[in-house]
Every structure is written in structure tokens, then in C-alpha cells.
Chain A
Amino acid sequence: MGPPVSDRLVSRRVDLLSVAREIAGAARPGEQIEAYALRSRETEVKVYAGVVESLSVAEIGGVGVRVVVENRTGYAWAGSLAPEVVADTLAEARDNAIFGAPDEHAGLAAPTDFAGIEAPAVDLWRDELLSVPVADKVALALEVERLTLAADRRVRGVESADYGDAAIEAAVSNSLGVEATSRRCVASVSASAMAGERDDTQTGAGFSVARTPDDLDVEGAARDAALRSTRLLGAKQPSSRRLCVILDPLVSRSILGLIGSALNGEAIAKGRSMFLGREGEQVGSPMVNLIDDPTNPIAFGAATHDAEGVPVRRNALIVDGVLQGFLQNVYSGRRSGVTTTGSAVRGGFKSAPGVGARALHLAPGRRTLDEIVASTPDALFVQSVSGLHSGTNPVSGDFSVGAEGLMVRDGAFAEPVREITIASTLPRILLTIAEIGGDLTWLPGAAAGITLVIGEMQMSGN
């Protein structure tokens, strides 16, 4: 089976930087224009019970245009790279700028915003992804399903087994002479196992992410899915109490992501963060060193430039528990009287750049999860959480989420538990970190996972 998407598709022939330059080049006197053009080639395979349920092949292209005139900003986007659509989009963005309120800090990135800062050399593109036959991708999805079922006799079904990949290219260009291109590849397999014993059903997911299909750990993904579902069999709801909590890397990365969103300089400038006015203060336990480092090529969020075309850099946000500063894009930096930290991010072409982390992580400690458990007399090990979007708030710091996992007693994993919540506040979680594991785990998303021991949280159950 060859690559099924035809070469006749218009966007395939388009040079993204030329598209962006042409739009930015249309700036009139007194007007600033930034154009962002993106193209993504994607494959998605879903299998169920040994049959390919669906196979999607897609190419997505689009453009986002930001216009600043008389300190007013307007934005427009379109899911197409066709020349007439691109021209309409620029006209729409210009029209929208009329309705924005003047803001003295509005404006695009200028070369002076990052004088002397070199972009890191990270190469996230793999030509070989584009030459992998679709049949091989289908085989990976079938393989992860087969291995998950075979991993443990108690796995009675696989709810979903998927393969996905994307080759994403983007270009940004603005009328002040800033431009950058980026391209990256990513491939993944995942499986969600359902384990059963008598009337009991428990689920667990496993996945592997890499830049090419060859680097995927399909066996590891299947093993994780089976382990995570079977070890919850027989889980019961325990009684409510306060106790030490050990967070799996998959859980800690979500919490770090929330903390990262409160370290956003724009949120600080607008008074919408739990870290407001805390700069220079002890906000974490002394072992906490929190860094956003998109220059590290191992990070899935690694990049050479940010979403405004500014070179990225390593930003140490919390050092020995003391808050050092915040992530900034050009706008939030100007507003706060500092410079951009190269932290502009955007969710594709449909929105203007915001501020965010790309590769947030805690400096690792020394011990493995097993070593930590072996010296723990009484704790809750949390394997997964639910309701992160509904039970947490990076402005107030409220934190209350559904959880499932295993009790830890006398240095060993004990009975599984479910239908519980764990609660604290985000500031308190940072201050009560009792140990950071040595197992820094790079995962897709803005933050890396790591085993994290929180001295005390409230567990709600019976």
C-alpha cells in the first residue's frame, strides 16, 4: 500500500515560508503583520479485535494572520493555503483590528527583542517517517493490541488500540523582519486494556511515543496497559484520611503542567495567577528546581524558535524552591517591563500566540520508584487521575481530582483502591514535595513526568 494521499493536493506544493513572507510583506505604512502557516500530514489507525476499524490519512493546512495597527490587534485564520483564501484572511484580520482597544504594549516581535540570543540546533524531523508504508503502520496497531491481550490472561479485552503519526511543518514571518521555520515528526502507539476477574472490570492504558515508528516501544506500551489494568483488579474504596501520596510520572506531569500555566507572565500581568507577587519567595520545598528547557532535543516540545519566531532558551523558573520569574512572550514581557523569554506558544493556526511552557521539568533526584516504595511505611500510590479540567484551578490554586492506584504499606505495594479523590492546593503541593524520583520521563505535552512524593494530601473515600 503506497501513500494514499495524492500529490495533486494544492498545499503539498506550497512553500510555507513564502506564503508567510508574502502576507507579512503586504504591510502598509504604520501597520505590522505577522503570518503563520502550517501543514501537517497525519495517519491514524484504529484496530479492534484484530480488524482495522478505521484508517485515516490526512493533510491539513492553514494560515493565521495577526495585524497590529495604531496599537490595536486583529486576528483571522483559515483552514486552507489556497491563495484567494489567504488574501481574504489578511483582509479579515485588518478589519478585525479596527475593533480591538488600543494597547500601548501591542506589537510583534522585533529583532531587538532577542539581540545576541542564538537559536539552539535541534533537529526534530525524520524523513524516514514519510516513507514508512501504511501497511507497516497498520501492523504496529495490530501488534500493540495482540501483545496487550497476550501480556496477562486477565486482560479480557482491548478497548482501543491505535497508531498515529504526524509530520508537522510551520513557518512564521513578520513585517519587522523576524522569521523562522520549524518541522517535527511524531509517532505513537497506544492501547487501553480491560482486565476482568469475576464481576470486576478495571482499565489501564499504555503508550509509546517517538519521532519514528522504528523507535516505538510497542512491547512496553502493551506491558504497561496490561500491568496498569490488572493491578487494579479487586480495587475498593478506602476510608478518608490524610496521608503521604506518591504520584506516578503520568500524574505528576499533569500537575506540573497546571503549575506551569500559573507561571505565565501574561496571567501574572493581569492578576490571574496563584503566583502573583510571589517572585523571590520560597514557593516550593528546597529540593524543587523547575526548569522549562525547549533547547533539550529529548523533549517532545523542543524547538528552535517560539511561536513568534523568537529563539527559545532554558528558563529556570524555581531554583531551590525560590520563585525566579515567569515565562513571557513579546507582549507580556513589554507589559511587565522585561523581555520575552522565547515562550510564545500557539495551538495551531486558529489562535494568536499566548504564553506557555514547552519542556517543563523538575531536576531529578536519585531513587527509583521501587526504592522509594521500599522505604515508605504508609502512602497512597496514584496511578491515574480524572477530572483535571473540572477540579483544579491555577488562579485560586484549588486542587481536587479523582484518583486510582495502590496503597503502599511497610515498604511494599498493597491493595488497589478506586473511587477516591485526592485534594490539596497547588501551592501546598509544591511546598510539601518530600522527594523527587530519579526517573525523569519525557512525554508529549508541555511537561515531563517524574515520580513525586507529596508529604500529605487529603484522600476522600468512605
Chain B
Amino acid sequence: MTQLVDETVLDRTLRAALRNGGDFAEVFVEDRRTTAARLDDRRVEEMVSGRERGAGIRVVRGGTTGFAHTADLSEDGLRDAAEAAAAAARGEAGKTNIVALTRRNAPRPHDVEVLPESVEKSAKADLLARADDAARTESETIRQVSASYADARRRILVANSDGLLADDDQVRTRFLVNCVADSDTGLQTGTEAPGRSVGFELFDEIAPEAVARIAARRALTAARARPAPSGKLAVVLKRGAGGVLFHEACGHGLEADLVGRDASVFGGRVGEMVASPLVTVVDDGTYAREWGTYAIDDEGTPAQRNVLIENGVLTDYMWDLTRAAKEGRGSSGNGRRETYQHLPMVRMTNTYLLAGEEDPDDIISQTPYGLYCVALGGGQVNTATGDFVFGITEAYMIENGEITEPVRAAQLIGNGPEALRSVDAVGSDFDTWAGTCGKDGQGVPVSAGQPTLRVAELTVGGTAGV
């Protein structure tokens, strides 16, 4: 495939960026094409195609980063953006040193088998009707179904004044079904949305009908649910969805940019016991086929498997180039950006808790009273205080070691370090969950994962008494 921008043009653009001095310059080129199709109310409403192509250029001079971007990938367009970025970076004049570009590609974590653009649009639309039929077959009380198919192919190219030249070709495919069920207590909803860094082969692994049935059953379960309890109780998280707990409780707090601003409860605690010894948390951008996987990050650094917490001990933070340079170390491959129009920052990839040894069924049977969470709807954290929330969308009471009645959606709230310390059982199973992580206005695809586990105590924000 042709390179997005010629090497000699990249070299001249970097020289233009550093013409008036500076410590570092980078050209990030992106070409993104997307297709989405949506079915709602029994009709394929709309097929949407999108195309975005451009370059973001940053110039670092002293402590200041100047940034400009352009949709014009001609040499003139790139030079204009380079000059704009240089003008914006008005720190102290630094040394100017441009190293000749050397290609440094990283191995791809996995191969993409069926590129989305090679698949007929009609085949994409057909998946939606299959999901609609399957969901409505589940029950007559399923009143409404919406289904979406989305694919994206993102080709990136990074060149910088340290001589780095690397590219990547990232493909992602996702399928979403949302169902509305009618009940005595009003309308209830259920959603399921698997996604992977693969092409159309996603549907060899995941049938649209299966996704639809999960979403439909979730809505039907909510329709017979009673109000969730209010107050502190033991919480068992089923494998997969509960990974959001670690994404929020410690993931964000281990991002080096927040640590560097003294805005994390985990700052200055490397080497300390910050979690139960059962807890080993990994962020792994090389995890084959996962939603948050890539060969290189958006600064050209190869993705890595980074152990963040090992047997309860904090081992390291996650780093991008800027933060790593301040500490005189290397990036951990966590520099990401939503598009070429954004500056990179420290972001998670696939963040998960390693499996333990307990039988997941035993964890439930050894819980006298608590909440069993099967599906979560995302969360949020204040890294400076460590307080985090996450929403449950499918959950059941555990009474005398048995799963009993379903409960309605509710928010759970806890404090990161406290929640990590109170993990008291970790199962031998494992699964992952795909989502979009938002930080400072930028959304990037991430996954979270964990085995079935128990947190001894979290505050459940329902409306009923415990």
C-alpha cells in the first residue's frame, strides 16, 4: 500500500517545524474511513460513510508544545501547519537536532482477515435484520429493537525529529443491539455491544442473533426486576464486564500525566502495597484481536504489555513520550489520540485483572448476602480523590449463597485504593468487555477484563433498603 505521505516530504516538514529552534517535532498523519448502518423500528434507516484524512504537527520547545493540524496533506499544507505549530511553541529556544528518518515498525498483534471495504454494504445491512428478528422472537413484550453495525479502518503514519518513522493499519468492527421491553413498571432497556480490532470475521465469532438475544434477555430481566438496594454490601462481578471497576478504580490513576500533576491518589506509591495480594492488573496493547489493541501507539511507540500492579504491589504507571521524557525513561506505548486533530496523552489500551484460582461458582456460594453484577454501563473517576462510580445494567441479589431476584439499574460508588484492598476472592475464569474511554474530551477504544471476583464492600446506589 502507498505511504500516506512521502518520506522526503516528512523530512522537509520536520525541518520546517524546527527551523526556529525546538527540542522535538512530530508529524502524525491519519487516514480514517468508517461505515455504519443502523436499523431501528424494523427498518434499516440509514447507511453512513465517513472519511477523514489529515495531519497533526507538534513542536516542543522547552516546556511548551505547539500544535496545529491540517486536512491538506500536500507539502504546502504540511509546511503551513508546521509553521503554525512552531509559532505556537514559544518556549525557550532549544537545540535543533534532526535525526534521519529510519523505519521502525512494530509487529502487528494479529492479522485482519476480511477488510471492511472488501465486504458489500448489503452484507452489512443484512446482519441488522437478523438481529432484529432474533430479538423480537425472544418475547412479545420486546417492543422495540435498534441494531447498529460499525467499522473503521485507520491508517496512521508517525515521523519525528528523533528519526522515528512508523506506520500502522488499524481495523475495528463493532455490533450493537438495544431492546426495549414493556412491563407493569414501564419501559425497560437492554444493550449488548461487542467489538474487536478485526474486520468482518468478527461475525464468524459472534453471531448477530446471539448479540440480539443477550440484549433482549437483559431488557426482559430488567422488566421483572425490583428496585436495587441502597447502602453497603458485598459485590460479586461476573467475568468480563467488571473490568470497568479496575479501569476506574486504578487505571486512570496510574496514567503518568495525572500522576505528574499530583492529581492521583496513586502518586509516589510505586513499590507499595496498594491492593489486595489477589490483585494483578495489566494494561496490554498487544492483546490479539482486543478492542484496544494496536501495533504502535499514536506517537509511534510499539504497544507493550505493562504490569501495573503485581500481587497487590504498585509496579509502574503508564507513559507517553512527553511524560516519559520528563522522567528520563521510555514510553510504555500508551500515547494515544482520538484523531489527528488532537494532541496525544496517556491512555489505557486493554486493562485487565489476571485470573486467580477460585471456582467462580464457589465465590457466589460463599457470599451470604450481596449483589451479583452481570453487565455494567461504564463509569467515571476523580483520580485526585480516588472516588469512582460505575453503573450496573444487569444485576441480581445473592441471598444465602444463591443468585435470586434481578434488580434495577443503579450506580455503585467506591474509593479506588479502598476497593482494591477489599477484593477478597478472584476466580479462575476470564472475559473482556469493549468500550469507549473518555478523557479531556477525547474518546478512544479500550477494553477491560477480569475474572469473576468479589469486593467485600461497595456502596450500591439503589432506592430500596438493604
**Residues of A in contact with B (beta carbons under 8 Å apart):** 1-2, 4-6, 8-11, 48, 51-61, 73-80, 82, 85, 88-89, 92-93, 95-101, 103, 134, 156-157, 159-160, 194, 201-203, 237, 240, 269-274, 276, 350-352, 386-387, 389-391, 393, 395-398, 400-402, 404, 418-425, 458-462
**Contacts A77-B48, A99-B122 given; does A157 touch B68 at CB 8 Å:** no
Q: How far is the CA of A240 from the CA of B89 in the complex (A)?
A: 52
B462–A8 touching, CB < 8 Å: no
8 Å CB contact of B46 from A75, A272, A350, A422: A75
8 Å CB contact of A10 from B45, B72, B187: B72
**Contacts A159-B384, A462-B232 given; does A237 touch B68 at CB 8 Å:** no
Within 8 A of A (CB), among B98-136: 121-122, 125
Within 8 A of A (CB), among B412-432: 412-415
B189–A419 touching, CB < 8 Å: no
Give the size of the chain B interface in residues (CB under 8 angstroms): 85
B51–A421 touching, CB < 8 Å: no
Q: Which chain B positions have C-beta within 8 A of A351?
A: 48
**Contacts A55-B66, A78-B50 given; does A237 touch B459 at CB 8 Å:** yes
- 0/1 per residue, B49-83, Cβ < 8 Å to A? 11111100000001111111111100011001001
Within 8 A of A (CB), among B222-238: 222, 228, 230-232
8 Å CB contact of B53 from A9, A79, A422: A79
B231–A99 touching, CB < 8 Å: no
Q: Which chain A positions have C-beta within 8 A of B462?
A: 400, 423, 458, 460
B460–A460 touching, CB < 8 Å: yes
| Nearest B residue (CB) for A65 | B49
**Contacts A8-B80, A423-B461 given; does A391 touch B68 at CB 8 Å:** no
A419–B343 touching, CB < 8 Å: no
Q: How far is the CA of A424 from the CA of B411 in the complex (A)?
A: 11
Among the stretches B35-43, B205-213, B291-299, B447-455, the one at the interface with A is B35-43
8 Å CB contact of B47 from A9, A80, A99, A156: A99
8 Å CB contact of B409 from A276, A391, A422: A391
B46 to chain A, nearest CB (A): 5
6 CB-based A-B contacts, threshold 8 Å: A54-B64, A56-B343, A75-B48, A76-B51, A387-B378, A387-B390
Q: Which chain B positions have C-beta within 8 A of A134?
A: 88
Contact of B379 with A by CB under 8 A: yes
Q: Which chain A positions have C-beta within 8 A of B412?
A: 421
Q: Which chain B positions have C-beta within 8 A of A2?
A: 87
B461–A421 touching, CB < 8 Å: yes
**Residues of B in contact with A (beta carbons under 8 Å apart):** 37, 40-41, 43-54, 62-72, 76-77, 80, 83-84, 87-91, 121-122, 125, 143-144, 180, 186-189, 222, 228, 230-232, 261-263, 265, 341, 343, 376-380, 382, 384-385, 387-391, 408-415, 440, 459-463, 466
A262 to chain B, nearest CB (A): 10
A462–B408 touching, CB < 8 Å: no
A423–B230 touching, CB < 8 Å: yes
Query: What are the 10 closest A-B residue pairs judged by CB atoms, nearest first?
Result: A421-B461, A390-B391, A391-B411, A387-B389, A402-B389, A79-B52, A96-B47, A101-B43, A6-B80, A4-B87
Q: Which chain A positions have C-beta within 8 A of B143?
A: 271
Q: Which chain B positions have C-beta within 8 A of A77?
A: 48-51
Question: Counting chain A CB atoms within 10 Å of each CB, which of B51, B53, B384, B413 scores highest?
Answer: B413
8 Å CB contact of A57 from B52, B68, B230, B459: B68
8 Å CB contact of B40 from A10, A270, A276, A389: A270
| Nearest B residue (CB) for A418 | B387
A400–B66 touching, CB < 8 Å: no
Q: Which chain A positions have C-beta within 8 A of B72?
A: 9-10, 82
A420–B413 touching, CB < 8 Å: yes
B186 to chain A, nearest CB (A): 6
Q: Which chain B positions have C-beta within 8 A of A160?
A: 261, 440
Q: How far is the CA of A351 from the CA of B41 in the complex (A)?
A: 19
Q: Which chain B positions have C-beta within 8 A of A202?
A: 384-385
A396–B409 touching, CB < 8 Å: yes
A34 to chain B, nearest CB (A): 13
| Nearest B residue (CB) for A229 | B384
Q: How far is the CA of A77 from the CA of B49 in the complex (A)?
A: 6
A103–B43 touching, CB < 8 Å: yes
8 Å CB contact of A386 from B380, B459, B466: B380
A396–B53 touching, CB < 8 Å: no
B62 to chain A, nearest CB (A): 8
**Contacts A55-B64, A270-B40, A271-B144 given; does A395 touch B263 at CB 8 Å:** no
| Nearest A residue (CB) for B231 | A240
Q: Which chain A positions have C-beta within 8 A of B389?
A: 386-387, 390-391, 401-402, 421
A19 to chain B, nearest CB (A): 14
A99–B88 touching, CB < 8 Å: no
**Contacts A9-B77, A56-B343, A271-B144 given; does A96 touch B188 at CB 8 Å:** no
Q: Which chain A positions have C-beta within 8 A of B341?
A: 58, 60
A155 to chain B, nearest CB (A): 12
B349 to chain A, nearest CB (A): 21
B231–A461 touching, CB < 8 Å: yes
Q: Which chain B positions have C-beta within 8 A of A237?
A: 459
B369 to chain A, nearest CB (A): 16
Q: Which chain B positions have C-beta within 8 A of A48?
A: 261
A420–B391 touching, CB < 8 Å: no
B70–A9 touching, CB < 8 Å: yes
Q: Which chain A positions have C-beta within 8 A of B144?
A: 270-272
Q: Which chain B positions have C-beta within 8 A of A460?
A: 230-231, 413, 459-462
8 Å CB contact of A387 from B67, B384, B391, B415: B391
Instruction: Supply 11 further A-B pairs (C-beta < 8 A) apart from A57-B88, A460-B462.
Output: A58-B341, A79-B52, A99-B44, A157-B262, A203-B384, A240-B231, A269-B41, A270-B40, A386-B382, A402-B388, A460-B461
**Contacts A58-B69, A240-B231, A420-B413 given; does A270 touch B378 at CB 8 Å:** no
**Contacts A9-B72, A76-B50 given; does A393 touch B189 at CB 8 Å:** yes
**Contacts A9-B80, A274-B186, A460-B231 given; does A52 touch B64 at CB 8 Å:** yes
A352–B50 touching, CB < 8 Å: no
Q: Which chain B positions have C-beta within 8 A of A419?
A: 387, 413-415, 459
A357 to chain B, nearest CB (A): 21
8 Å CB contact of B189 from A9, A386, A395, A401: A395
8 Å CB contact of B65 from A54, A76, A424: A54
8 Å CB contact of A421 from B48, B187, B265, B413: B413
8 Å CB contact of A74 from B47, B408, B414: B47
Q: Which chain B positions have C-beta within 8 A of A424?
A: 463
Q: Which chain B positions have C-beta within 8 A of A240?
A: 230-231, 466
Q: How far is the CA of A15 from the CA of B320 in the complex (A)?
A: 40
Q: Which chain B positions have C-beta within 8 A of A103?
A: 43, 45
B139 to chain A, nearest CB (A): 15
Q: How far is the CA of A386 from the CA of B415 in the complex (A)?
A: 13
B186–A397 touching, CB < 8 Å: yes
Q: How far is the CA of A60 from the CA of B339 in the complex (A)?
A: 12
**Contacts A96-B48, A270-B144 given; does A396 touch B222 at CB 8 Å:** yes
Q: How far is the CA of A56 from the CA of B390 in the complex (A)?
A: 33
Q: How far is the CA of A125 from the CA of B122 in the complex (A)?
A: 44
B381 to chain A, nearest CB (A): 8
8 Å CB contact of B45 from A73, A76, A387, A401: A73
B378–A462 touching, CB < 8 Å: no
| Nearest B residue (CB) for A43 | B88
Q: Which chain A positions have C-beta within 8 A of B91?
A: 51-52
